[in-house]
Structure 1
């Protein structure tokens, strides 16, 4: 999955056929997932579940990462994206996409709040969840499976499967349970440090990866998503156009970049230039400018949201509302 994604149509078709034939029956996964209760599932068509390439934990999630003062970090370039968490009373934290690209999940604790910081490169979906489910702590990993090209997570305690883009249990004991999404946002490293000179940044993991390199070169310029065979977005919206999702509403990024600020549905959504795409150039910091979005309510409080690709919004919210220019 983590490689250059310009695939010839014939190869893509072959991969689709293999993925479909190999994924149609959950029986084949029971040896890999002996503690997963496959009798509890919201999946009606198992061909939706595909292998993304790496096996379970082939993309290693991180737990209890180390942090350093932002002022001491010199490896991250100014335009590189980070996921920011600012919880009242706690020092703001930045989780660089240069690390999340290779690990996809970070299990951490901010103050008294256990969090899962997640990023699915194939959907551009970056969200932070509270790791408590019914009062019980969960530790998340990368299953190696995809559904609608989105990462399927699992929790180590019950081996239930979770859909990252919607934070919902789809297979196993936690079927139907929903993780609480916490306010966070993706912004440039320069924006984070300018606002939080005394902030903290996740330190480089000791995994020997090509941190700062993008294994998905030019992906967000592709005409079609990778390992996605569903319906394309309506209204002529390009499938890999970024959209800002709040609940079941989506604002196309080109509208936000044109207007700068939108006030609708009780929200204030702003866009400013300066953040590099993590899915464009080989060096993440050299990616095209996709801008930074902030979502607040009428009182100025941060609102939980996601910046995902349009095809993923349409796949998971087929009856969602598209907030088009008036």
Structure 2
């Protein structure tokens, strides 16, 4: 694992006191990271590009669950973690380091460092410890709004400053209308060198997948399986598989990819991201049936193929 300091610590500021509302500043096709809560919450990538980590809490009182909503733009990796270790909540910030081009987080309680895509502590008091992945989904703002009319969305940070808004390592004033990684996402290259348009870009030696193919990664009991979005789309939008003894179903809908525990149904695609099984129709984005039944969403990592391969090797893909 190649770990290097790229930016000053906290040059990209995490969010510690998030606020939510019903009005969104961006576009209908913007991606948001969605967490099931009461009400459901959306964390826009447009905002996370400038902050990368949101320290939030789901629920109140004894039922409260502290979470970290994390996003690495270079790796396209959206992962939500339970941020408790040994029952105590940690608060995460952006270390300014990269590990294999992936965000390295640090916790402010012990200054331990954590690889974002894995949720593993790579240095410090908690070295070797693993954060627990929470169920989440990536979908467009329009999909979230249509499916969760009672949902709320993360609001911009007033007077925010971030290195992502700057041409150098010094934080600058944030304009959330700008998308600092748009050129990177449109380019063929991947990793920090590609983002900074340098010549020392990384190589990719496989032809079945592009390095920035979107993958949904499932891990359980030491088994890791990545489901590339185009492969699932080519299979009529639905794949059934068993991961560490758990039957799963993976749907490709509306440009997104979603995984649920499968009670044993044979799903057949219909139209508009809907699938027929068990005498009813299911929404592949939410896992909800017309008759009110709900498939349990699985804890998953959404990320680029090159990062999944960095973490788990070239054979850790479905099929």
What is the TM-score of this pair, normalised by structure 2? 0.76
Distance in structure 1 (CA, Å) of the matches to 2:248 and 2:83: 26
Q: Between Structure 1 and Structure 2, how many residues are aligned?
A: 255
1:93 aligns with 2:45: no
Distance in structure 2 (CA, Å) of the matches to 1:100 and 1:233: 31
The aligned counterpart of 1:243 is: 215
The aligned counterpart of 1:292 is: 256
From the two aligned structures, give the one with the greater strand fraction: 2
The aligned counterpart of 1:59 is: 12
The aligned counterpart of 1:50 is: 4
Conserved? CA contact 1:233–1:310, under 8 Å: no
Q: Secondary structure at the match of 2:144?
A: helix
Q: Secondary structure at the match of 1:255?
A: helix
Q: Secondary structure at the match of 1:152?
A: strand
Structure 1's 237 and 154: CA in aligned 2 closer, same or farther, altered over 3 A? same
Gaps of 5+ in 2: 161-172, 194-200, 264-294
Cα deviations across residues 291-317 of structure 1 (Å, max 9, x unaligned)?
A: 121211114100011221111111111
1:200 aligns with 2:152: yes
Matches within 5 A, 1:1-326: 48-52=2-6, 54-68=7-21, 70=22, 73-87=23-37, 90-111=38-59, 112-206=64-158, 207=160, 208-227=173-192, 232=204, 234=206, 236-247=208-219, 248-258=224-234, 259-265=236-242, 266-273=247-254, 291-299=255-263, 300-318=295-313, 320-324=315-319
Distance in structure 1 (CA, Å) of the matches to 2:125 and 2:48: 27
Structure 1's 134 and 261: CA in aligned 2 closer, same or farther, altered over 3 A? same
**How far 1:212 moved relative to its partner?**
3.5
Please identify, of 252-261 and 231-240, the stretch whose mean Cα deviation from structure 2 is larger. 231-240
Cα-Cα RMSD: 1.8
Cα deviations across residues 190-243 of structure 1 (Å, max 9, x unaligned)?
A: 111112111111111111412142212232343332237777364532111111
What is the TM-score of this pair, normalised by structure 1? 0.74
Conserved? CA contact 1:232–1:314, under 8 Å: no
Distance in structure 1 (CA, Å) of the matches to 2:210 and 2:49: 23
From the two aligned structures, give the one with the greater helix fraction: 1
The aligned counterpart of 1:28 is: none
Distance in structure 1 (CA, Å) of the matches to 2:56 and 2:258: 23
Gaps of 5+ in 1: 1-42, 274-290
Conserved? CA contact 2:229–2:256, under 8 Å: no
**How far 1:132 moved relative to its partner?**
0.6
Larger relative contact order (Cα-Cα within 8 Å, sequence gap ≥ 6): 1
